[in-house]
Amino acid sequence: MRGLALLGAVLVIVGVLALVFGNFSWSETKPVLQAGPLQVNTQQEHHISIPTIGGVVLLVAGLGLVFAGRIRA
């Protein structure tokens, strides 16, 4: 049952990353108008928030799978 332990380890890593980096934001520049040498751009802000409870659930589920994989092996 190494598959369970491996899946659990991946979930633990994703859960820790979700807890550490809970908010992501980036900006994207898009051209609006291009007329000869004249160019007008707009900048959009994007935000992604991962709830803390989601990271905790992933972490706990991953730990459970790691221990279940070790017990069955």
Using the CB atoms, write b or e for 11-33: b if 16+ within 10 Å.
bbebbeebeeeeeeeeeeeeeee
Residue 58 main-chain phi, psi, to 5 deg: -60, -40
Per residue in 25-70, pLDDT tens?
999 999 999 998 999 999 999 998 989 999 999 999 999 999 988 8
> What per-residue confidence (pLDDT) applies to 50?
87
Q: Which of 51, 33, 49, 52 is nearest to 41 (CA)?
A: 33
Q: Structural domain of residue 11, as residue ranges? A: 2-72
pTM above 0.75, yes or no: no
- In tens, the pLDDT along 11-34 reads 999 999 999 988 889 999 999 999
Q: Which residue has the tokens 């069955």?
A: 72
- Count: domains in the chain: 1
pLDDT of 73: 60
Residue 19 exposure: Cα atoms within 13 Å on the Cβ side: 12
